[in-house]
Structure 1
């Protein structure tokens, strides 16, 4: 699969024949002393075993880290639904696109399934790697340090005060370079990941703050050659936009059905997309829905 392998700092940079900018992040490093790590607490989700998760100071990340500190988890109901899908479909692999501090990634890894997690923000991956080390889960997770876009490029990172997970990527910064800092990231396309997932069946969580359509447009080959069964995605940013209509068109052309993520028998109607919930799930039409 890989034509070349080398290390750059704490990165394991593996260059695939069709993805020279694909970057695998080393999960063996404990970044406990990293300045962004406020503390590591237990991720506790009903019916699942707990595992350590490192979080930001709630003063700069009230929505996710603050909620984890006060409640023990974040979006626990959606995570349990994904775990149920995985439990009902033993052949499925989990792909977490926009993993943030790793709530979904860690929960699914602790459940015992293999995970590939992608994020543009190096600070997030340092935190997830530390959580994996503390939870003895490094063998369950592959971390990829890349943004996902419709072309290979360098993207800037626009931070949202009070919400680290609300970080937005800025396209058009320039061509891909070798930057390894915290304020930009290399963007690859989903098609670059085809060699990893070809002949596999996936459930995907995608939360990349308005870049969802770009990710899809860079994944036409991916959706043809990889068996994507379920796709959970954030919808709130797209309900009233032209982008939302284009996402619906892209997915329906590939025979995906939009449903309520916690009520998968309830089909969502495209003409009512402005009333869809904040998170939706796409299910491949040929897939049997419980």
Structure 2
């Protein structure tokens, strides 16, 4: 009888050991198949938790319709990235034009955007207020934030209740913004896209600043191999994203570190197909450093009936002064003259 009991005990121990071994093996396999980075294969992107490859139709609950997206446009999943980044988030408070506040993740050691938000709760307060005031009366206006950084514009406009599409080449910025949106309960209003913007698709290297941590610019990569690296990103055209957008008015903000001209070259169909009312862009680089790009931007927008203004006071600007007295940021407003389309 005692021998029988010993046998039963040994059998139970054996079964338990086998069970624990199976759990260990399955856990190891799962961890290998689910690495920290959310983009597991070349040219894949994440749409609401699902990996999608090539030009497939995706059922998008945010828009309630089928959308066809270029294989190179990478939609950044907010939920999974926010969960993964939450413990790394250095929280600050962002102030909103309606008097409310919301949490925002900021870069440690940054001397510009993050530092100013930590200090005052704002980045470019006057410009955010102007965007807010212009969008508020137009209930269905969408906001396209090109070069969103950590979300200083995206977050307030999402708080306004508008649809926001935010694009950035810096994956860390998007992880931080995803976390901020989840913390503030604003993620349903926003789509994040991890790409650089240009006039063609190619791999580029991301050059980040030391003092302006969230700011980064892209340069041509010597390697065009299909590998995801932390500081390598794929550029796309804005025209590659057309089917993502609803046929409603747009406010576009552009701050993409001197590649605005290239981005506009890749946005011809976008400006033709959609009702773009406003374009807010950083101008300081085009006054003296890149005057030819500045001239292209002026011609592109002027031909499409846009007129430049000072964002803070809406004072009109003269095109002849573009390389001398224009301010750091310029607001282009589309003005349709009587008898024109």
Aligned counterpart, 2:152: 103
Matched, 1:20 2:71: yes
1:221-240 paired onto structure 2 within 5 Å? 221-240=269-288
Q: 124, 127, 139: which is aligned to 1:75? A: 124
Within 2, Cα distance between the matches of 1:144 and 1:18?
12
| Aligned-residue offset at 1:165 | 3.6
Aligned counterpart, 1:205: 253
Matched, 1:41 2:92: yes
Q: Write the deviation string for residues 136-158 of structure 1: whole angstroms up to 9, x where unpaired.
A: 11111110111111101111111
Backbone CA RMSD of aligned residues: 2.0
- Secondary structure of 1:262 counterpart: coil
TM-score, scaled to structure 2: 0.76
Within 2, Cα distance between the matches of 1:125 and 1:147?
12
Larger relative helix fraction = 2
Aligned counterpart, 2:235: 187
Q: Is the 8 A contact 2:69 2:244 kept in 1?
A: no
- Secondary structure of 1:33 counterpart: helix
| Aligned-residue offset at 1:287 | 8.6
| Aligned-residue offset at 1:255 | 1.3
| Aligned-residue offset at 1:91 | 2.2
Within 1, Cα distance between the matches of 2:337 and 2:157?
21
Q: Write the deviation string for residues 115-170 of structure 1: whole angstroms up to 9, x where unpaired.
A: 11000110000000110111111111110111111101111111121002431111
Q: Is the 8 A contact 1:45 1:76 kept in 2?
A: no
1:222-261 paired onto structure 2 within 5 Å? 222-240=270-288, 241-261=291-311
Within 2, Cα distance between the matches of 1:76 and 1:176?
41
1:84-95 paired onto structure 2 within 5 Å? 84-95=133-144
Larger relative strand fraction = 1
Gaps of 5+ in 2: 1-37, 56-67
Q: Is the 8 A contact 1:176 1:187 kept in 2?
A: no
- Give 1 or 2 for the bigger CA radius of gyration: 2
TM-score, scaled to structure 1: 0.89
Q: Write the deviation string for residues 211-239 of structure 1: whole angstroms up to 9, x where unpaired.
A: 10000001111111111110100001111
| Aligned-residue offset at 1:73 | 1.4
